[in-house]
Amino acid sequence: MVNQSGFKIGYNDGRTITGDLISDAVNLGNMTVDSVTMAVATELIDWHMSGPGIMGIGSEAGEAMGFINSRSYSIWLDDLGAANGTILFGGYDTDKYTGNLTVLKILDADRLKVWWSSLTLTDSNGSITLLSDSFPYPASLDIGSSASHVPSGVWSKLCERFGVRNQNIGTDAYPNDAACVVPCDLGYGSLDFGFGGSNGTIVSVPFSELAPPGFNARTGEPLYYPNGTRMCLFGLTPGTDGDVFGDTLLRSAYVVYDLDNEKIAIAQSNVSSTSSNNIVEIPVGGLPFAGTGV
């Protein structure tokens, strides 16, 4: 036991977890990392369903492991239909992204915020620029969030565009189990998020990635419309205390976090990639971002 009752975390949707901090060994492949601090949840507030554990990445963990040269890691989630993705400690994989990595300064080390520079909606009718006069915005690139939080004005426009409606996704006994739902087929198009200005990276998020399948908040059963078609959740929510880009966007991005140099690099994901032929190690003192993806 490291600290009894020493753990508490809250989420934007109101869920809270409290518990104890403990220390134990963790096996990663053929390596064993000793004395890893982790939490044991003892109380879940507004968390109605059981689920897998959550493995977070502490800011000091990477270097302490002794297996990598810098406190850095890269994330590739793959698309919504994928069974798994990858996390690479101490380097990045050029097979997992396309084009160039754009390097951004971390604005807030605790929340991993960077400048977000543009947003465009593209469909069969062309492209519409959203909020061009208000950029740049600070946004957190948070793999711990399933949804992405955008400015409320943008969210309202997108709700109208996609026919979003609010519905109870629990049971009649729990009327507060409400969520924004959409048809699972949102048609052809993408939301294009810009990072790093006019010469930076555009992360194109297909409409299909904005509609993860919906499940009953109490029973876990799939949700359906009265006509029998599958119901999905809308993967965007209105921002409250700042914009947070979670899995909705990050499934379409490849992201490298360099905690030593307080930099984040981002590129368009090479979804469904099956190869890892060019892994680049991040050395002490900097990111060697000269290479491009496939």
- Model confidence over 183-235: pLDDT tens digits? 999 999 999 999 998 889 999 999 999 999 988 877 888 988 889 999 999 99
Per-residue confidence (pLDDT) for residue 125, from 0 to 100? 92
Output the six-digit token pair for 107. Answer: 């604005």
**Rounded distance, CA 136 to CA 143, Å?**
21
pLDDT in tens, 143-172: 878 889 888 888 999 999 999 988 766 655
> CA nearest 273: which of 99, 95, 101, 98?
95
CA angle 184–269–250, rounded 5-degree value: 60
CATH class of 68-281: mainly beta
CA angle 39–235–197, rounded 5-degree value: 95
**Rounded distance, CA 151 to CA 203, Å?**
18
Domain boundaries defined on the chain: 1-47, 68-281
Q: Is the dihedral of CA 203, 116, 186, 233 positive or negative?
A: positive
Q: For the chain, first and last CA: distance in Å?
A: 46
**Rounded distance, CA 1 to CA 229, Å?**
49
Per-residue confidence (pLDDT) for residue 285, from 0 to 100? 72
* Mean pLDDT, the chain, whole residue set: 84
**Rounded distance, CA 50 to CA 220, Å?**
9
Per-residue confidence (pLDDT) for residue 173, from 0 to 100? 46
Per-residue confidence (pLDDT) for residue 143, from 0 to 100? 84
Which residues of the chain, if any, have pLDDT below 70?
Answer: 11-14, 46-56, 58-66, 132-134, 168-178, 240-242, 286-294
E strand or H helix at 153: helix 152-162
Number of other CB atoms surrounding residue 78 within 10 Å: 18
**Rounded distance, CA 255 to CA 265, Å?**
6
Per-residue confidence (pLDDT) for residue 127, from 0 to 100? 92
Number of other CB atoms surrounding residue 245 within 10 Å: 28
Per-residue confidence (pLDDT) for residue 126, from 0 to 100? 93
Length of the chain: 294
